[in-house]
A and B are shown apart, each in its own frame.
Chain A
Amino acid sequence: MSLFDYERPGTLAEASDTLRRDNAVALAGGTDLLVAIRHRVISPEVVVDLKSIADIDDDISRVADRLTIGGRAVMSRLVHDEQVNRYFPALAAAASVVGSVQIRNRATLAGNLCNASPAADAAPPLLAFASSVTISDGETSRTVPVAEFFQGPGVTVLERGEVVSSIEVPIPSVVSGSAFARVTRRRGVDLASVSLACLVDRSGHVRFGLGAVGPTPLVAESTVDELVTDDGIDRLLAIASPISDLRAGADYRRAMLRVHARRALQRAVGEMKAAS
């Protein structure tokens, strides 16, 4: 690997200062970053390890009506967390298919978002659950809905010196159900060709998060009544603009999106009925 400096700051303020330097990158789990450095996609001058920052948690805690997932929480943590499984099974399901056990033990939820892959596994459920991201530069912090976080492939609203300190997922206030679906070429250790998550509540409102069918993960909303018809499904999914790549063709992605959106909705409605 190319040579770089390594800093392991203990506070957000120090981390932000270092990240404002030229060619500085943040390191959380490293499962994407080190591959990018090795392949010379990036050649950083300084790598800023966020794992010793006291103000960034590696834990998941419930604060009032929301679950706060610390910026250092790894995917394995989400997979095994009792509250994530109880309130956000679609998020636990998405976390459980990220890479392999070895990857999930290092890869963080925040890193998955910051990497801003259109196929980020955790993005669809976080979108479906109307989650938000807390961003800090050590002095001030701001909260951005995940729906506004992604700007394009690999690009987020993060500005220089900013890091994601936590992710907030609101616990649905009414009876609801959720589901996650993912299409891959093989069962394990593959990027998604199409992924989606769906949240339906008792009022009939439906929110989908869609992955790998546009330049960013997408959010689409509708109602159960609307989605009974093919036209309704078409209107919901009109936002998708998939590309053809080595994993799947655009037409195949569209076709799979339709099929799995419908199935996910059925499963989510089934879950909601079971819960009420």
Chain B
Amino acid sequence: MTREQAITVTVNTVRHTITVPASMTLLEMVRSRLGLTGSKECCSEGECGACTMMLGDEPVNSCLILAVEADGSSITTIEGVGAAGMSPLQEAFVEAGAVQCGFCIPGMVVAATALLQRVPDPTLDEVQEALSGNLCRCGGYARICQAVLRAATPEAADV
């Protein structure tokens, strides 16, 4: 039957046709089969957001999606966000000193990128809500939120 299945997914604008086990998650596929290791595996149960990718325009936990479920979909990972050099949001993370150990940052940046696409000029509340599914073990939330606000309105650098 279908313990293995061929799927076609577009990851960061590149189409791939891959045969995967039905039990493989989208995260495992992207990391181990496509070699895109920017997305991190951490809690594996949708609590921490380190694996956040965009499915279409929507941020999702790629550890809770089977690769076969993503058949026919378009996915953006952190590698896609920075494909043409650092995005303004990524620059803002650096400028705000928002990166400490860095493990949560790919997920944070993808979740924040999705927010800014939907809400170009968010309030602090909106930023906090959009990132509430992304945990930072270092506790660097203040600067992370500041970075997102800085990217939205570069002139308001100090919030």
Contacts and interface: CB of A to CB of B under 8 A. Distances in A.
Interface of A: 1-8, 27, 30-31, 34-35, 37-39, 46-47, 49, 51, 76, 99-103, 105-106, 187-189
Considering residues A99, A102, A106, which has the most beta carbons from chain B within 10 angstroms of its beta carbon?
A: A102
Contacts of A49: 68-69
A187 B133 CA distance: 11
Contacts of A6: 2-3, 5, 22, 66, 68
A3 B23 CA distance: 6
B47 interface: yes
A31 B59 contact: no
Contacts, number: 92
Given A1-B23, A35-B64, A101 B2 contact: no
A30 B69 contact: yes
A76 B58 contact: yes
B84 interface: no
6 contacts: A4-B22, A31-B46, A99-B133, A102-B49, A102-B111, A188-B129
A224 to B, nearest CB: 33
Contacts of A1: 23, 25
Nearest to B132: A188
Contact of B60 (A7, A47, A102): A102
Contacts of B3: 3-6
A5 B69 CA distance: 12
B44 interface: yes
Nearest to A2: B23
A105 B118 CA distance: 14
B52 interface: yes
Q: Which 4 A-B pairs have the closest CB atoms?
A: A100-B133, A6-B22, A188-B132, A1-B23
A7 B23 contact: no
Nearest to B23: A1
A189 B47 contact: yes
B91 interface: no
Given A3-B3, A3-B23, A100 B64 contact: no
B154 interface: no
Interface in B1-18: 1-3, 5
B77 interface: no
Contacts of A39: 45
B116 interface: no
A30 B58 contact: no
Contacts of A102: 46, 49, 52, 59-61, 111, 133
A231 B97 CA distance: 57
A115 to B, nearest CB: 13
A189 B133 contact: yes
A7 B130 CA distance: 33
A105 B59 contact: yes
B36 interface: no
Nearest to A1: B23
A51 B64 contact: no
A4 B25 CA distance: 13
Interface in B40-62: 44-47, 49, 52, 55, 58-61
B70 to A, nearest CB: 11
Given A6-B22, A189-B47, 16 more contacts: A1-B23, A1-B25, A3-B3, A4-B23, A5-B2, A27-B69, A34-B65, A34-B66, A46-B1, A100-B46, A100-B132, A100-B133, A100-B134, A102-B133, A106-B61, A106-B64
Contacts of A99: 46, 133
Contacts of B58: 76, 105
A49 to B, nearest CB: 6
B21 interface: yes
B96 to A, nearest CB: 21
Contacts of B65: 30, 34, 106
